[in-house]
Chain A
Amino acid sequence: MLNKNIYLILIISLVFAISFWIGFNVNLLPIEASINAPIYDELFKILFIIGLIIFIGMTIAVIYSLFKFRKRNDQIGDGIALEGNLSLEILWTIIPSIIVLLIGLYSYNIYDRMGGMKELNHNHEMMRSNPEKIWAGISQTSDNEISNNNLSIEVSAMQFAFLFNYPKGNFISGELHVPVDQKVSMKMESKDVIHAFWVPEFRIKQDIIPGQPTILNFTPTKVGKYPIICAELCGPYHGGMRASIIVEEESDYNDWFNKNKKTEVNL
């Protein structure tokens, strides 16, 4: 009996050790290039480790049962007539409930840190003056905050392109240029069908919905060029609906902005 318990403890410890090692050493995600990304990756790591423990544990239990309890040629009888064990069943109801609840609370905390729980349009005065319904994306904010603090960009999505309007420069670009480490607020509108704005390196995604503008905030943290991908089926060329976001030093961004700001574009 003692030996059995030692083996069980050893196996459980091994499953935990393997899961933690994989969880901390195998990186399945693209590079982190926004403030949101490392927060998201914390959650991913926790989910990955817990998932591995459960998956490896269950797989071992099934495969072990198949080998250990397989019927030998000389056996003709049945297994033990065990129909249940109330305390065991209560245990494996309570433990997953606690795990799920803790994961839920933790992910709520992560979501809050990403800015997802901020109230949209909390300024009631502004709501009255703005009858247009704006749907909340992650890290949402009111129009007031957009204009006061952040780099404000308007995104138009259409089959099969993104267009980026810089209101302060009065120009439109097919590429999204933003300075590193500065908060960007985007108001997104669709001209036709549902699209989605996704930058995997930023870990953000927001649908762009016709008739219901959406807003999305992010703060890039790494200079580089990253893909913007439409993630919502939008027609035959959906796979080709891509653009680039170029995160650059503030001076480079200012050069690009000044070079483009006088350009008049008529839609």
Chain B
Amino acid sequence: MTISIDPQKTNNESLQPKGWLRYFSFSLDHKVIGIQYLVCGFLFYLIGGTLASAIRIELASPMSDFMPRDVYNQVLTLHGTIMIFLWIVPVVNGAFGNYLIPFYVGARDMAFPRLNAVAFWLIPPSGLMLVASYFVEGAAQAGWTAYPPLSITTPQSGQIIWIMSVLLLGGSSIFGGINFIATIIKLRRPGLKLMQLPMYCWAMLGTSILVVLSTPVLAGTLILLSFDIIANTGFFNPVLGGNVVVYQHLFWFYSHPAVYIMVLPAFGLVSEILPVHARKPLFGYTTMVFSIMGIVVLGLVVWAHHMFTSGTPPWMRLFFTIATAFIAVPTGIKFFNWVATLWGGKISINSAMLFSCGFIINFVFGGITGVALAQVPFDIHVHDTYFVVAHFHYIVYGGTVFIIFSSIYHWFPKVTGKMLNEKLGILHFIITFIGFNLCFAPQHWLGLNGMPRRVAEYDPQFQFVNQISSLGALLMAISTIPFLINIFLSMRNGQVSGDNPWKALTPEWLTSSPPPVENWEGEAPLVEEPYGYGKQFSEQK
């Protein structure tokens, strides 16, 4: 099969709005769509973050006194759903994937530009629909997992809108996944071998395989759930003979791989950033590729560890313990390789590097608690407690969100042609790192000692630790201020970056900043060694 695009039809420059207005247009340019994903995702991050702050304000005191209990459950449901489906997944996949993948394969756009635009334009309306579901009578309040029978028995209008919104977001993910696979496999520049691709391509290939295999399962599950709610069917409703544990199996078949859908692209991004700022080749390229594929395979067979307390049979508990724990091996390989990439380098200590190193430290911590959670006896005690909340945020915020920020600091000059202010960036990192660890590290202790998650009220003995956690959340909220100031000031008055301020070797830096509509004035360059540091530039001393 040959996939070809007609640049005249897809990216006719004369038809595109100019300047910032093009980001509000139905553009087919992968770069515009990437930035649309990023900005849209960040707006939802601010909404999800505001909801998180409301949760931490409520938990600063043991009694439910800041908001009614049902509103608290609605807020935590919305927070979880927004952060996963509207911030992290669209940004690490959609934003950076769209912006970088065509550059990395030497293409002028994605394989299916219109599908690409449709995938993005599904997000704002579904996101708004999700937010609007809060304001209808009876917003969804069964958590982002929407376990039946709670999701069937709580007020239904909001839950139905929630399901429809997640279905549309899942559709967007699948469109994106198909597009990335087609682009990476079929649109590679002639002469560019798979094993010469930048690591982010491999990460996106692995992620897209997971998306295409697992997201339809979530979609099917939610459709069955909506039948139970609307048409009174009994797939999951125990009153009608349904099985609630089957829902959990189906839900986690998607939602555990969803963690890798969030972190694999982050692994890819950090693999691009570290070699540039350490001025060293990415250590162990081949093992990195195999470890990504190992994570993809293992990621699909670990879902039942979320159900150790649900009544799974002993053999299943044993199998899923071993499978889950073994994901630590390919993940560990990547971390050793990143540290080896730093070792012996000429490291620039800037915002991008600090956020990447912060990611390594946070993620190692989250990974260790993940191995612990894979063990049935350990999991049985801490399942559904604040220990899990802490572990999850170490992986998803301490891992993925740190890398999103690192990536913004790294690629901002490419997108805008301007440099970000480093002092503000380092301030942003310091406040975020301290706030994040202050917020989530104490939650491990809370979970071990008896505080369940998703509660508006708790035992007063946990008040002091919760207040420390809330203080950390406040710092995280404050940390956004220097970041936003930096973005706006740098876009207006930032130092001009030039085409390649980092002297990087990956293809996106070999064109102008910002890049032209079709990426290169002439033919795409063939980059055989995207991490050939220590060869080219060392000769230019």
Contact = CB atoms under 8 A, between A and B. Distances in A.
B310 A135 contact: yes
A107 B342 CA distance: 35
Interface stretch (B27-35, B181-189, B275-283, B468-476): B275-283
B369 interface: yes
A96 B329 contact: yes
Contacts of B541: 76-77
Contacts of A69: 278, 342-347
A231 B384 contact: yes
B481 interface: no
A214 B149 contact: no
B464 interface: no
A18 interface: no
Given A76-B541, A79-B278, A58 B342 contact: no
Interface in A68-102: 69-71, 75-85, 88-89, 92-93, 96-97, 100-101
Contact of A58 (B238, B335, B369, B449): B335
Given A234-B150, A236-B70, A204 B381 contact: yes
A107 B375 contact: yes
B244 interface: yes
A170 to B, nearest CB: 27
A120 interface: yes
Given A58-B335, A82-B281, A104-B322, A207 B345 contact: no
Interface in B297-320: 309-314, 317-318
Interface string A124-139: 0000000000011110
A92 B336 CA distance: 8
Interface in B361-397: 361, 364-365, 368-369, 371-372, 375-378, 380-381, 383-385
Given A70-B347, A136-B314, A229-B450, A77 B339 contact: no
B381 A203 contact: yes
Contacts of B147: 193-194, 232-233
Contacts of B357: 62, 66
Contact of A136 (B241, B245, B311, B339): B311
Interface string B332-354: 11011101101111111100010
A147 interface: no
Contact of A79 (B69, B70, B533): B533
Contacts of B383: 196, 205, 231
Nearest to A42: B377
B426 interface: no
A68 to B, nearest CB: 9
B373 to A, nearest CB: 10
A44 B378 contact: yes
A47 B346 contact: no
Contacts of B73: 233, 235-236, 238
Interface in A24-66: 28-30, 39-40, 43-44, 47, 50-51, 54-55, 58-59, 61-62, 65-66
Contact of A78 (B312, B369, B452, B538): B538
A111 interface: yes
A211 to B, nearest CB: 3
A78 B279 contact: yes
A209 B244 contact: yes
A209 B348 contact: no
A58 B360 contact: yes
B538 A71 contact: no
B344 A100 contact: no
A111 B377 contact: yes
Given A40-B377, A59-B361, A71-B346, A193 B150 contact: yes
A92 B332 contact: yes
Interface of A: 28-30, 39-40, 43-44, 47, 50-51, 54-55, 58-59, 61-62, 65-66, 69-71, 75-85, 88-89, 92-93, 96-97, 100-101, 103-104, 107-108, 110-111, 114, 116-120, 135-138, 192-194, 196, 198, 200, 203-207, 209-212, 214, 227, 229-240
Interface of B: 64, 68-70, 72-73, 141-143, 147, 149-150, 153-154, 238-239, 241-245, 278-287, 309-314, 317-318, 321-322, 325-326, 328-329, 332-333, 335-337, 339-340, 342-349, 353, 357, 360-361, 364-365, 368-369, 371-372, 375-378, 380-381, 383-385, 444-445, 448-450, 452-459, 531-535, 537-538, 540-541
Given A108-B318, A206-B309, A206-B380, 17 more contacts: A28-B449, A29-B449, A40-B381, A62-B357, A62-B361, A71-B279, A77-B541, A78-B538, A79-B344, A83-B282, A84-B283, A89-B333, A200-B450, A203-B377, A207-B310, A209-B311, A239-B452
13 contacts: A54-B364, A62-B339, A66-B347, A78-B534, A79-B346, A83-B283, A85-B340, A93-B287, A117-B314, A233-B73, A233-B454, A235-B150, A236-B70
The 6 closest A-B CB pairs, nearest first, are A135-B311, A81-B534, A211-B238, A239-B455, A79-B345, A107-B375
